[in-house]
Amino acid sequence: MENVYQKLWTQAQSLMPGGVSSPVRAFRSVGLDPLIVSHAKGCKIYDVEGRCFIDLVMSWGPLMLGHADPEVVREVQNAVREGSTFGALSEREIKLAQKIKEAIPSIEKIRFVNSGTEAAMTVIRLARAFTGRSKIIKFEGCYHGHSDFLLAKAGSGLATYSLPGSSGVPEEVLKSTLVLAYNDLEALERSFHRFPNQIAAVLVEPIAANMGVVPPREGFLQGLRSLCKRFGCLLIFDEVITGFRVSFGGAQGLYKVQPDLTILGKIIGGGFPVGAVGGRAKMMDQLAPSGPVYQAGTLSGNPVAMAAGLQTLEMLQGQNPYRKLEHLGRELEDGLSKILQMKKIPFRLHRIGSLMTLFFTSHEIENYEDVLKSDSQRFKQFFKEMFEQGVFLPPSPFEAWFLSLAHSKSDIQKILKAASKALNFKPNS
């Protein structure tokens, strides 16, 4: 007799491409059928068969406070009672914009959209209009959503499925996108000389987090800032993942480097669909209706997402949780490192605060080419063993792990106990 899971998974595959609404959720790179969730609370996620997992995916980053935080839920319920969407400006939208502006000094004005992809599309259009130039520089392994001109050698799901880009994207669309190795300032300077007065913007994840976590080399971000200024090009930080996660001021606050424009998402929606573009007023005022750069959205500034985001940011600001998250992250990092060293397994573990990735390799990792040298088969087996023991890791070796304030020292110890057992496997077994 078909059980509940089998029935739902069969139905999902008949209704949705690959049975999912986003590729990495299909678990294909780890050789399993996907998780089908019934509910989640705190740092625990439960499937339709009643199994409980400690969650290190946390919806890919938005849930700094954990699943179904009571205070966020209360604010969302209050917002829904007042109306789920208005198609007009709301007070919560203004308050959230003010909160973000106070946290991130490089942002003088902000435009809310509905996703990181929308934010990236908008910021590129804005940069091209402001500079009068057409070319964009991005970096291998950095993912900025699924708009056509940014899918060249991107990370995240494209890395998971070993895709150089996407079918359906015309070659001519990608001609205006230059793709360089992350952490390579010399390549960037060569590109400026090769295409003088043609490059509108350099778009970068200040901490690469879509090919796994790859920190910027010392001086890299400062070098980007200097070169962009020297060649009259805009510097854009994609802080969809890092914004409000690595510090309340994001990666730009952590590294003390101010971009011209910033895109945000995830945490600023508190678990609801959201994205944003922010930057200096003279640039942001190019957006309609103030200027000639058109952008619009039916659900932009949705009051429910604004309520969840505002409550989340107020709690992060009030609790100043980053020290706790650093301690939890360090405990997990130290514990995993000790286990791997004892078992003589080659590894690199990259962590910044509550954001981390374990790579199975002995090589230094500074860019996408380095990332691809890691042992994806060993990760696949590690994922299976951890999943079997009730730990939900990202189902890809090229994604970040996320901790939240809902995780406890007890949860970290359970993760480490599971890892010690999971790492007993032999490669390719």
* Dihedral over Cα of 279, 283, 287, 290: its sign: positive
How far apart, in Å, are the Cα atoms of 318 and each of 68, 174, 315, 337?
19, 44, 5, 33
Four-CA torsion 33, 333, 368, 241, nearest 10 degrees: 80
Opening angle at CA 94, ends 93 and 98, nearest 5: 115
Q: Which of 99, 143, 370, 411 is catalytic?
A: 143
- Please say whether the beta carbons of 280 and 123 come within 8 A: no
Of 44, 135, 266, 384, which one is the catalytic site residue? 266
Q: Is 238 a catalytic residue?
A: yes
Of 238, 260, 370, 411, the catalytic one is: 238
On the question of a cis peptide bond just before residue 289, with omega within 30 degrees of 0, the verdict is yes
Under DSSP, the state recorded for 47 is E
Among candidates 384, 366, 387, which has minimal Cα distance to 376? 384
Cβ neighbours of residue 308 under 8 Å, at least 6 residues apart? 72, 75, 76, 79, 269, 270, 271, 272
266 tagged catalytic: yes
Residue (of 301, 288, 317) closest to 104 by Cα position = 317
DSSP conformation class of 203: E
- Sign of the alpha-carbon dihedral angle for 282, 285, 287, 293: negative
Which H or E run contains 388? Answer: helix 376-388
Beta-bridged to residue 351, according to DSSP, are 356
What lies within 8 Å, CB to CB, of 335 at 6+ separation is 412, 413, 415, 416, 419
Which residues form the catalytic set? 143, 238, 266
